[in-house]
Structures are given as C-alpha cells and as structure tokens.
Amino acid sequence: MNTSFGLMHIWSQGDIVTRAIAIVLLFMSVISWVIIVGKLSTHLGYPYKIDRFLIQFWSSENNVDACSVLEQADSYGAFSRMANQALLANDSFEQRTAMGIGAQTDRGEFISRTLQQSIMMAQTRIESGLTVLASVGATAPFVGLLGTVWGIYHALVGLSGVKQVGLDQVAGPVGEALVMTAAGLFVAIPAVLAYNACTRSNRLIIARLDGFAHGLHNYLVGGVR
C-alpha cells in the first residue's frame, strides 16, 4: 500500500469532523472490547459448569456444607447468593413481627418472594453491558458511513478548483474515505457476535437459576430435594 495513502495520511488530511468520527469509533471499540473481555472471563464455560456444582450442592450433608460448595465452585456467584438468601429467608421466617407487613404470608410465599428477587438481581448483573454492545453493534456502521460520506464530500471540495482531475487524484481521497466504513464494520461485528453469544449464555444461566429456585423452594418448604 502506498504510504502516502495510509492511516496517518487520513488523520493529517482530515478535518475536525473526520477526526471526531474516528475518535468516536475508537472509543466505541475500546468500550465494547472491555465488555467482551469481561464477559468472556466470567461466562466462558459457566453454563456448562452449573450442573456439576449443583450436583455437589444437593449431595452435601447439611446447609453449611452445601453453601460452602457453591461459594467455592460458583465463579460468578449467582447461585451461591441465591442459596444464601433463601436459607436466610427461611431462618428469618420465624422472626417476623406479628404486626409486620409479612405477618399474613406463609413460609412458601415468603421464600418464593425472596427467590424471585434473587433471580431479578442476578439477571440484572448478568445482563449488564449488553445494552452497550447492542448499541455499538447497531450504530457503529452508521458512524463509519457518516465518516465515509463526509470524507468523500471533503475530498470533492478539495478537488473542486482543479481543472484537470486524474484517476489518482480521485481514487486516493475516496479510498481513504471508504476506510471509515471499514472501521465502522470492524467495530460493529465483534460487538454483535459477542452480544449474541452472551444473550444465549444468559438464557441458559437464567433457566438454570429458575430451576434451582424451584428446587430450593421445594427443599425449604416441603423438605423434598
């Protein structure tokens, strides 16, 4: 590639709008990759480890050992927090005040509310960052396209006073402008792929959390594992 038409040439020849768009794309790329790396470090293989440590949980001799197993094996902490909150709710059921707002609820409803709140909190933590990935994946191509349109306009304005325009004089500036479209796609594609992968992983985790919640409810209310 001719060095006169490299990235540094785009930056040096571009105006404030072109540079601002390039900075926005760089910022979007950095933010998306930070989220992607964070999600991979916590979600990589996590849905497939759940069944293994849940078997260990239900095979424990008592509640203390069961919670200890989850705290050691559950790297994300969603299941261990749910188990601890459910056991705490079960222990605090007898300590309700006679005139409190929960005085008329039975044990099953009391624990069920705790489990529902735990699932919602876990879902909020698991889905954190996905909105940013979706936004980057949806808007980055258009930001790059805006840079391309503006770059072509800027190039044509620069050539407007030239009486004889050759192919080399047009191909260089237009090619540089098209780099902005490629940059937008480079930012958007990883974000979209990561969003789809995390969404699928999150569905598996939430489904297992829901099943674990039903199991805890049956165990704490009916004594059935």
3-state secondary structure the chain: CCHHHCHHHHHHHCCHHHHHHHHHHHHHHHHHHHHHHHHHHHHCCHHHHHHHHHHHHHCCCCHHHHHHHHHHHCCCCHHHHHHHHHHHHHHHHHHCCCCCCCCCCCHHHHHHHHHHHHHHHHHHHHCCCHHHHHHHHHHHHHHHHHHHHHHHHHHHHHHCCCCCCCHHHHHHHHHHHHHHHHHHHHHHHHHHHHHHHHHHHHHHHHHHHHHHHHHHHHHHHHCCC
For residue range 69-118, what is the model confidence (pLDDT) as tens digits? Answer: 888 878 778 888 888 888 888 777 766 554 455 556 677 788 888 888 88
**CA-to-CA separations, 174 to 147, 171, 187, in angstroms, rounded:** 11, 5, 21
Rounded to 5 degrees, what angle do the CA atoms 133, 209, 216 make? 160
Q: Give the mean model confidence (pLDDT) for residues 193-222.
A: 88
Q: What is the pLDDT of residue 84?
A: 86
Q: Tell me the residue type at 7.
A: L
- Percent of the chain exceeding pLDDT 70 equals 80
User: Which of the four pLDDT bands, split at 50, 70 and 90, describes residue 13?
Assistant: low
Q: What is the pLDDT of residue 3?
A: 45
For residue range 194-203, what is the model confidence (pLDDT) as tens digits? Answer: 999 888 888 8
User: Which of the four pLDDT bands, split at 50, 70 and 90, describes residue 219?
Assistant: confident
Q: What is the pTM of this model?
A: 0.77
Q: What is the pLDDT of residue 93?
A: 74
**Cα 76 off chain centre by:** 14
Q: What is the pLDDT of residue 54?
A: 85
Q: What is the pLDDT of residue 1?
A: 42
Who wins on pLDDT, 210 or 104? 210
User: Which of the four pLDDT bands, split at 50, 70 and 90, describes residue 164?
Assistant: low
Q: Give the mean model confidence (pLDDT) for residues 173-182.
A: 79
**Cα 136 off chain centre by:** 11
Q: Give the mean model confidence (pLDDT) for residues 141-160.
A: 81
In this model, does residue 41 exceed pLDDT 70?
yes
Q: Give the mean model confidence (pLDDT) for residues 40-57.
A: 80
User: Which of the four pLDDT bands, split at 50, 70 and 90, describes residue 189?
Assistant: very high
Who wins on pLDDT, 30 or 53? 30
